[in-house]
Structure 1
């Protein structure tokens, strides 16, 4: 029986960890958490998002702009995040409306699709 979601993984290009940490930790304000020693040699880093984890792995030769796969971060103030991202030169992508939700999408600096969403 599946009882919940433990973590999700996204990828960034190999060697882009510092740029990734800047975006995810400094711009989005997510907390980095320690990876087990046995996995550190693989590169990447882990983040805490509420009671879940986002594992940021590394891989090359993958076109992130061609996938609809994405993470959706639940927030309290959508307009705040729109402003923060625009101030950091992140292009906002208009989303198809969903009843009872306010949301928008963007691509992180590596091309990963990300959604910001709030239930209204």
Structure 2
């Protein structure tokens, strides 16, 4: 049976943060990763949190009263120049944990300043014939 709709793309990913952690989020998402902070609509701004965009990726950080960092669930963000990103994160004190278990991709996991798990990946180069 066919559906009367189609999926286009993910509009954004939301991660939980504790109240008052917006400046820590800005330091990581804008300061370390270089994403641009977006102006939230006034009705949503009153709830706290902050939004960021870089390339085609948008991350919303929303305040939750019983915050616990997400240790398993995570966004998987496709990047270009994965090694450069890994070096930047390491230079800013973030552990980069390489994972070689996804065929066709190079990837690593790291954590934001609040302990939320993040995955960054890029397609692996095609093998060359000898």
Residue 7 of structure 1 corresponds to 12
Runs of 4+ in 1 over 3 A off after TM superposition: none
**How many residues of Structure 1 are paired with residues of Structure 2 in the alignment?**
119
Q: Give structure 1 stretches of 5+ with no counterpart.
A: none
More strand by share: 1
Q: Does 1:91 align with 2:95?
A: yes
Taking structure 1 as the reference length, what is the TM-score of the superposition? 0.89
* 2:77 counterpart SS class: strand
Shift of 1:63: 2.2
Q: Give structure 2 stretches of 5+ with no counterpart.
A: 125-130
Residue 22 of structure 1 corresponds to 27
- Greater CA radius of gyration, 1 or 2? 2
State the superposition RMSD in angstroms. 1.5
More helix by share: 1
